[in-house]
Amino acid sequence: DAGITQSPRHKVTETGTPVTLRCHQTENHRYMYWYRQDPGHGLRLIHYSYGVKDTDKGEVSDGYSVSRSKTEDFLLTLESATSSQTSVYFCAISPTPDGVNQPQHFGDGTRLSIL
Amino acid sequence: AQTVTQSQPEMSVQEAETVTLSCTYDTSESDYYLFWYKQPPSRQMILVIRQEAYKQQNATENRFSVNFQKAAKSFSLKISDSQLGDAAMYFCAHWMGNEKLTFGTGTRLTIIP
């Protein structure tokens, strides 16, 4: 399995608090992605990174920020969590953007509940 | 915007039988890639099969095969000899060169013993 670790695996927090999710990889892949998964929506891209300090927005980026100061770590931050951000969050990595030679590999997900 | 549509929220199949999951997508590109991912209850996302649009031959991986109809923008997944371990959510995904995968909403597959 591709070496991806998401932390924490589960988190419960209150509305208005800041939350940071971490994705750590040991594969030295260039591309890293954050998705959220909600019933009826599948997986939707929040932000992605194509290199250290190089990031871009996905389709549901409002309320989220990311940082990538090292190849191996990609952080997702909710500056002030809202109940609508309750979801399962997945990190994925890939050496190329097209997933052809090596597809995106996913972490095990973080279940985040905001009360 | 890219869209991927899975019109079957749930499907069920008898063990050892064959089932086909549907997926349609929207694109104006001629070169792109399509994927099927499986998500079992463990929540892992596992790549099942992928198809390059420029290849006319349908992709096959053991019991899993696709029916790729480029003109119709259809990409269905056929699972033969269904097994209990095939029970999962299945997601269709589309990549067309913009560094992003677009996923469908998923089909939950139940295997009946």
Query: From the list A35, A99, A108, which residue is nearest B33 (CB)?
Result: A99
Binning pLDDT at 50, 70 and 90, where does residue A74 land? very high
Separation of alpha carbons A68 and A104, rounded Å: 18
Tell me how many helices (H) and strands (E) chain A has: 0, 11
Separation of alpha carbons B40 and A105, rounded Å: 15
Which residue positions in chain B have pLDDT lower than 50? none
* Nearest chain A CA: its distance from B95 CA (Å): 7
The one-letter amino acid code at B108 reads R
**In angstroms, how far apart are the furthest CA atoms of chain B?**
42
pLDDT at A1: 53
Cβ contacts (< 8 Å) between B106 and chain A: which residues?
42
Binning pLDDT at 50, 70 and 90, where does residue A2 land? low
Cβ contacts (< 8 Å) between A42 and chain B: which residues?
4, 6, 91, 103-106
DSSP secondary structure string for all residues of B47-83: EEEEEETT--SPPEETTEEEEEETTTTEEEEEE-S--
Which of A4, A31, A46, A106 has the most B C-beta neighbours within 10 Å, making it the best mutation to test the interface with B?
Answer: A106
Q: What is the per-residue pLDDT across A33-69, written as a single tens digit (0 to 9) for each?
A: 999 999 888 899 999 999 999 999 998 999 999 999 9
Mean pLDDT (chain A) is 92
For residue A58, give the DSSP letter: -
Residues ≥6 apart with Cβ < 8 Å to B2: B25, B26, B27, B94, B96, B102
**Contact flag A42-B105 (C-beta cutoff 8 Å):** yes
Local structure of A44: helix, strand or coil? strand
Q: What is the per-residue pLDDT across A93-107, written as a single tens digit (0 to 9) for each?
A: 988 776 555 578 899
* Nearest chain A CA: its distance from B20 CA (Å): 19
pLDDT at A33: 93
Residue pair B78/B22 in contact (Cβ under 8 Å)? The answer is no
Cβ contacts (< 8 Å) between B104 and chain A: which residues?
42
Rounded to 10 degrees, the C-alpha dihedral B39/A109/A65/A4 comes to: -100
* Nearest chain A CA: its distance from B104 CA (Å): 6
Q: Is residue B42 packed enough to be buried (19+ CB in 10 Å), middle (13-18) or exposed (0-12)?
A: exposed
